[in-house]
Amino acid sequence: MDLKDFFADHPRVAVAFSGGVDSSYTLACALTYAQAAHAYFVKSAFQPAFELEDARRVASLLDAPLTVLDVDVLANPRVTVNPADRCYFCKQAVFGAIGQAARADGFATIVDGTNATDDASDRPGMRALTEMGVLSPLRLCGIGKADVRRGAKGLGLPTWDKPSYACLATRIPTGQEITAESLARTERAEAFLFERGLSDLRVRTVGEAAKIQVPAAQFPLVMAHRREIVDALSADYSDVWLDLEARDEQ
């Protein structure tokens, strides 16, 4: 089965749209092959502001209808206590809101951007999507990350080389309570690093310290801005560390 066949079988789809390369490519293909497609972006404390900006930019480029839904994920204590399966409860809230809005708009099928390279084993979020009947056309059609990037580049999507970006909650260690302030300080720290030209990064919380993770090729840039990075992040963290293990390129 290819994407054209998938959307022939599912001609009216609601696309869970994050503004990343996978969901952007899924939306572009849905607009091409389906009879009708509508994008839904969930705005919450877990998403930094730039994700919504990217989503709006891509939706505008594709002339795609876009609905932005506000979901208060921090109102759910099963999320904020941050258990190992936190993502399961978060996905229930997020896709529950998308499903409600989509049904009101006349869409019974919800699709997301999970691709064939994503490891679907033992992932609480994937379990929630399966239980809720969310379909992943890229995964079902055997389309992996490299294929997605090539396809997105061919379509001229500005997100074709955008690094993967997990939600802000993933920066908080399992078992440590997630608060609005812990998420806000993470977003501030990462935004500061982005402004210094760094990319594909994470600022993880370790106790009250910040652990910066970037690809090894970006270590010289971190050191070039070392003093200002330490000064800026010290306003929110007790210590600032650089993870010498480095991140794999995404």
Please report the pLDDT score of residue 119 as a whole number: 74
Could you tell me the strand order of the sheet in which 202-206 lies?
202-206, 209-213, 240-242
DSSP of 64-119: --EEEEE--GGG-HHHHT--TTHHHHHHHHHHHHHHHHHHHTT--EEE----TTS-
Pairing mode, strands 202-206 and 209-213: antiparallel
Instruction: Determine the pLDDT at residue 164.
Output: 87
Residue 241: burial class (beta carbons within 10 Å; 0-12, 13-18, 19+): middle
| Cα angle 145, 32, 136; round to 5 | 40
No. of helices (H) and no. of strands (E), the chain: 11, 7
Residue 152, number of CB atoms within 10 A of its CB: 24
The token duo for 176 is 């440590």
DSSP string covering 4-42? HHHHHHS-EEEEE--SSHHHHHHHHHHHHHSSEEEEEEE
Q: What is the per-residue pLDDT for 118?
A: 86
Q: How many CB atoms lie within 10 A of CB 250?
A: 14
Task: Find out whether 58 and 158 touch, Cβ atoms under 8 Å.
Answer: yes
User: Could you identify the residue written with the tokens 């908080």?
Assistant: 172
Contact assessment for residue 187 and residue 45, using Cβ atoms and an 8 Å cutoff = no
Integer Cα distance of 245 and 116 in angstroms: 27
Identify the CA nearest to 156 among candidates 38, 17, 57: 57
Q: Which residues is 109 bridged to in the sheet?
A: 13
CB 211 within 8 A of CB 204: yes
pLDDT by residue for the chain (250 residues), tens only, comes to 999 999 999 999 999 999 999 999 999 999 999 999 999 999 999 999 999 999 999 999 999 999 999 999 999 999 999 999 999 999 999 999 999 999 999 999 999 999 999 876 658 888 999 999 999 999 999 999 999 999 999 999 999 999 988 899 999 999 999 999 999 999 999 999 999 999 999 999 999 999 999 999 999 999 999 999 999 999 999 999 999 998 876 5
Q: Which residues contact 188 (CB under 8 A, 6 or more apart)?
A: 236
Q: pTM to 2 decimals?
A: 0.93
